[in-house]
C-alpha cells in the first residue's frame, strides 16, 4: 500500500475519532516501554542478586549521566514529534521529511559529543559524587561501555520520535520490543560469564549495547531499504534546513534542558543522600515506579502527536476535547499508583535486594513520594500538551523551579545544615511536584485561552 495514502487516512481517522486515536497511539507505546521497563527491573534484580550492593550503587551513580543522554534525545525528539505532526496536519510531506532529516543530523552530533565527554572526564564524573573506590570502578566500567553504544540508542530513539510524529507508534515499539527481549536473554548470560572475572556489571552493559545495535540494523533495513514509512529516510533530506531545524530546536532545546536539569537533580540527590545504600534505594524506587507510570507517560506522549496534528489542521475544538479526556485518564492511573505503592512496597523490595538497609530506605521513599504521583501527572501532561502546541519554554521554567529552586536547595539545607534524616528529601519531592503541577496547569490554560482567542479571530 502507498504510505502517503495510509497517512492521509490516518490523519482523517484522528480527526474523526480523537479519543479512539489516543489509545491507538498510547497502547503500542505503553507496551513497548513496559517491556523495556521490565528489562530494567530484571537488570536491576540480576545485578543486585548476582553482583551485589556495590554494583547497585554503581547503577545509581551512572543513572544521572544516562538520564542526561536520554533526556537530550527525548527532549529534542519531542520537538521533532511536534513539528512533524504539525506539518502532517498541514498536509506538507516535504516539511515532514525535512524535519526528519534534521532530527537525524542532530543525533549524529549528539553522539560525537557524548563520546568526547566520556573520553575527557572518565572517572572524574563519579568521584565528585562521593562514591567509594570499588563503586567508582564498577560505575566507570558500566558507563564507558554504554557510552560507546549510545549512538545506537540515540538513533533508535530519534526514529521512534519521527514515526510518532506521523502517528505510527506500533512499528517502532515492535522493533524496540524485540531489542528489549534480546537484552533480557543476553543479560543473565553475559552477567554470569563476566562475573567469573569479577566484572558482572560489564556483562550487563554489553548486553544492552548489543540489543541497541540489533534494533538499529532492523530499523535501517525496514525504513531505508524497504521504505515502509510515510516519512522518507533518504540521504537527500540530511542536508541542513535552517528554518525547519529552528522549529525543532525551539521546542526541543527547552525540553532537553529540562531533562538535563532533572538529571542534575538526581546527581545532586546522590550527593545529598551521601550514602551508597540511599543512592541504591533511590535508584531501585525510581526504576520500579517508572514501570507503573508507563500509561501516564504513553498518554502524555500521544497527546503531543494529536495536539500537534490538530494544531496544524487548525482544529482547536478537537484540541480542547482531547486534552480533557487524556488528562482525566492519566489522573485515574496516578491515583491507582499512589494506592498501590503505599500499600504494597514492602512486599516488592525483597525481589530486588537482600540488603535490609536498602529495603527500608526504599519503603520509606515510596511511603512519602507516592502522594506526589497525581501532581507529577498534571505537570507532565500539561508540559507535553504545551509542546504539541509549539511551546517549549514552559517545561524548562517549570523544571527549573521544581529542581533548582525547591528540590536541590531545600533538600540540601534540611539534611546538611539542619541534619534532618533522609526522609526530608522525599518530602521535598512531594512539595516540588505540587508546585510544578499548579504552574503547569495554569500556564497550559493561559496558552489555550490565547490560542482560542486567535482561533476565534481567524474564524
DSSP string, 351-418: GT---HHHHHHHHHHHHHHGGGHHHHHHHHHHHHHHHHTT--HHHHHHHIIIIIIIIHHHHHIIIIIS
One digit per residue, pLDDT tens: the chain, 459 residues? Answer: 455 555 555 667 788 888 988 998 888 878 777 776 776 677 777 777 677 777 777 777 777 777 778 778 888 888 888 888 888 888 888 888 899 899 989 888 888 887 887 777 666 666 666 567 777 777 888 888 888 888 888 888 888 888 888 888 788 888 888 888 888 888 888 888 887 777 788 888 898 899 989 988 998 888 888 887 888 887 878 788 888 889 889 888 888 888 788 777 777 777 788 777 888 888 788 878 877 788 898 899 889 889 988 888 888 888 889 999 999 999 999 999 999 999 988 887 877 777 888 888 889 999 999 999 999 999 999 998 998 888 888 989 998 898 888 988 998 899 888 988 888 989 999 999 999 999 999 999 898 888 777 766 655
**What is the model's pLDDT at position 457?**
66
Decide: residue 138, CB within 10 A, 0-12 exposed, 13-18 middle, 19+ buried: buried
- Report the C-alpha dihedral over residues 116, 127, 195, 191, rounded to 10 degrees: -50
Question: Cα dist. 93→89, 228, 235, 270, 311 in Å?
Answer: 10, 15, 16, 46, 16
**Cβ atoms of 433 and 376 closer than 8 Å:** yes
**Would the pTM count as exceeding 0.85?**
no
For CA atoms 159, 164, 166, 171, give the dihedral sign. positive
Residue 132 phi/psi, 5° resolution? -80, 160
- Angle (CA) 34 36 42, round 5°: 100
CA distance 438 to 459: 32
Q: Which residue, among 6, 1, 24, 27, has the nearest Cα to 298 in the 3D structure? A: 27
For CA atoms 260, 265, 268, 269, give the dihedral sign. negative
**What is the model's pLDDT at position 233?**
80
Amino acid at each position: 500500500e502507498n504510505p502517503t495514502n495510509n497517512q492521509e487516512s490516518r490523519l482523517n481517522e484522528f480527526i474523526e475519532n480523537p479519543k479512539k486515536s489516543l489509545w491507538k497511539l498510547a497502547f503500542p507505546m505503553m507496551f513497548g516501554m513496559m517491556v523495556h521497563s521490565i528489562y530494567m527491573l530484571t537488570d536491576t534484580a540480576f545485578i543486585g542478586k548476582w553482583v551485589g550492593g556495590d554494583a547497585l550503587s554503581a547503577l545509581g551513580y551512572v543513572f544521572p549521566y544516562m538520564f542526561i543522554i536520554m533526556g537530550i534525545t527525548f527532549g529534542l525528539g519531542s520537538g521533532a514529534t511536534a513539528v512533524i505532526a504539525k506539518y502532517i496536519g498541514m498536509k506538507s510531506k516535504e516539511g515532514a521529511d525535512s524535519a526528519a532529516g534534521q532530527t537525524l543530523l542532530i543525533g549524529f552530533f549528539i553522539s560525537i559529543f557524548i563520546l568526547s565527554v566520556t573520553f575527557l572526564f572518565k572517572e572524574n564524573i563519579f568521584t565528585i559524587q562521593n562514591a567509594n573506590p570499588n563503586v567508582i570502578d564498577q560505575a566507570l566500567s558500566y558507563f564507558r561501555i554504554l557510552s560507546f553504544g549510545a549512538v545506537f540508542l540515540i538513533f533508535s530513539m530519534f526514529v521512534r520520535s519521527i514515526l510518532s510524529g506521523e502517528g505510527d507508534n506500533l512499528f517502532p515499539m515492535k522493533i524496540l520490543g524485540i531489542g528489549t527481549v534480546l537484552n533480557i536473554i543476553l543479560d543473565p548470560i553475559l552477567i554470569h560469564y563476566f562475573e567469573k572475572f569479577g566484572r558482572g556489571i560489564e556483562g550487563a552493559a554489553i548486553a544492552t549495547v548489543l540489543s541497541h545495535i540489533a534494533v538499529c540494523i532492523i530499523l535501517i533495513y525496514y525504513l531505508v531499504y524497504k521504505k515502509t514509512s510515510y516519512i522518507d529516510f533518504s540521504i537527500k533530506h540530511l542536508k541542513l534546513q535552517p528554518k525547519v531545524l529552528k522549529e525543532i530546536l525551539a521546542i526541543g532545546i527547552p525540553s532537553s534542558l529540562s531533562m538535563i536539569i532533572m538529571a542534575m537533580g538526581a546527581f545532586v540527590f546522590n550527593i545529598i543522600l551521601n550514602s551508597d545504600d540511599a543512592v541504591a534505594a533511590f535508584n531501585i524506587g525510581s526504576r520500579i515506579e517508572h514501570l507503573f507510570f508507563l500509561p501516564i507517560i504513553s498518554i502524555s506522549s500521544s497527546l503531543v502527536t494529536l495536539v500537534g496534528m490538530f494544531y496544524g489542521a487548525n482544529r482547536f475544538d478537537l484540541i480542547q476535547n482531547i486534552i480533557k479526556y487524556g488528562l482525566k485518564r492519566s489522573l485515574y492511573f496516578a491515583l491507582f499508583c499512589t494506592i498501590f505503592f503505599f500499600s504494597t512496597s514492602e512486599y516488592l523490595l525483597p525481589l530486588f535486594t537482600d540488603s535490609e538497609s536498602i529495603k527500608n530506605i526504599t519503603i520509606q521513599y515510596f511511603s512519602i513520594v507516592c502522594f506526589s504521583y497525581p501532581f507529577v501527572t498534571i505537570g507532565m501532561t500539561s508540559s507535553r500538551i504545551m509542546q504539541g502546541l509549539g511551546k517549549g519554554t514552559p517545561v524548562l521554567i517549570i523544571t527549573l523551579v521544581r529542581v533548582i529552586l525547591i528540590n536541590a536547595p531545600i533538600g540540601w539545607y534540611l539534611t546538611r545544615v539542619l541534619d534532618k534524616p533522609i526522609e526530608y528529601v522525599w518530602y521535598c519531592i512531594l512539595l516540588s511536584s505540587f508546585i510544578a503541577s499548579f504552574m503547569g496547569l495554569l500556564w497550559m490554560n493561559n496558552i489555550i485561552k490565547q490560542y482560542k482567542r486567535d482561533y476565534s479571530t481567524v474564524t
